């Protein structure tokens, strides 16, 4: 496998773990506001991102590649409003999409079809993640500025349950 692809895969493990930290930080913010549903939503997001990191790690191990873990940066966002984490999450998901696309591009350039096939699931996942993040912003803008609307959105997000990814490696 191409060294640049290996480097990008290793870096993506770190980026996914950072994403988990970022979403845990958002959950903590919402928990402090007693918005338990929003806190639940982002706690589950953190679990998903951790599992994405594990999928990248397992893919590398299954292909005999060395996994190198780096330090995980501390989230540096400061949130002042209920909307702030939603906007930050949407921006972050677009960033992650760009990272996945960069790995895919490099794999394609090197005719690394195995890695491209592996990344197909993540391409689809990122499309869903961006859609969900944008939807949360839109729904907050429509309903969340009214206390009753915010309460109902929070109750809805409280019903989200974690489902581990079913990507067979």
d(CA 110, CA 167): 23
d(CA 45, CA 50): 9
Give the model's pLDDT for residue 112. 97
Helix axes 83-109, 36-62, angle to 10 degrees: 10
d(CA 64, CA 157): 40
Tell me the average pLDDT across 16-36: 98
What is the pTM for the complete model shown? 0.94
pLDDT tens per residue across span 81-130: 999 999 999 999 999 999 999 999 999 999 999 999 999 999 999 999 99
Residue 165 has pLDDT above 90, yes or no: no
Tokens at 78, concatenated: 């400061």
Name the percent of the chain lying above pLDDT 90.
Answer: 95
Name the percent of the chain lying above pLDDT 70.
Answer: 98
For 133, the 3-state DSSP assignment is helix
Give the model's pLDDT for residue 169. 55
19, 96 in Cβ contact below 8 A? yes
d(CA 89, CA 98): 14
Tell me the average pLDDT across 23-27: 98
Give the model's pLDDT for residue 154. 97
Helix axes 3-32, 36-62, angle to 10 degrees: 160
Residue 152 has pLDDT above 90, yes or no: yes
* Mean pLDDT over each residue of the chain, to the nearest integer: 96
Domains located in the chain, CATH noted: 3-158 (1.20.1260.10)
d(CA 130, CA 133): 5
pLDDT tens per residue across span 39-72: 999 999 999 999 999 999 999 999 999 999 999 9
């Amino acid at each position: 496998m191409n060294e640049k692809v290996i480097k990008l895969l290793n870096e993506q493990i770190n980026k996914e773990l950072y994403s988990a930290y970022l979403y845990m930080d958002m959950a903590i913010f919402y928990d402090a506001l007693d918005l338990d549903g929003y806190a639940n939503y982002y706690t589950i997001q953190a679990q998903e991102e951790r599992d994405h990191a594990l999928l990248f790690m397992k893919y590398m191990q299954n292909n005999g590649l060395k996994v190198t873990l780096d330090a995980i940066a501390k989230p540096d966002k400061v949130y002042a409003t209920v909307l702030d984490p939603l906007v930050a999450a949407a921006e972050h998901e677009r960033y992650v999409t760009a990272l996945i696309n960069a790995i895919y591009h490099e794999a394609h350039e090197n005719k690394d079809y195995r890695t491209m096939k592996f990344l197909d699931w993540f391409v689809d996942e990122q499309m869903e993640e961006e859609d969900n993040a944008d939807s949360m912003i839109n729904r907050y803008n429509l309903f969340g500025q009214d206390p009753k609307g915010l309460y109902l959105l929070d109750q809805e997000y409280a019903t989200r349950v974690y489902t581990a990814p079913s990507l067979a490696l």
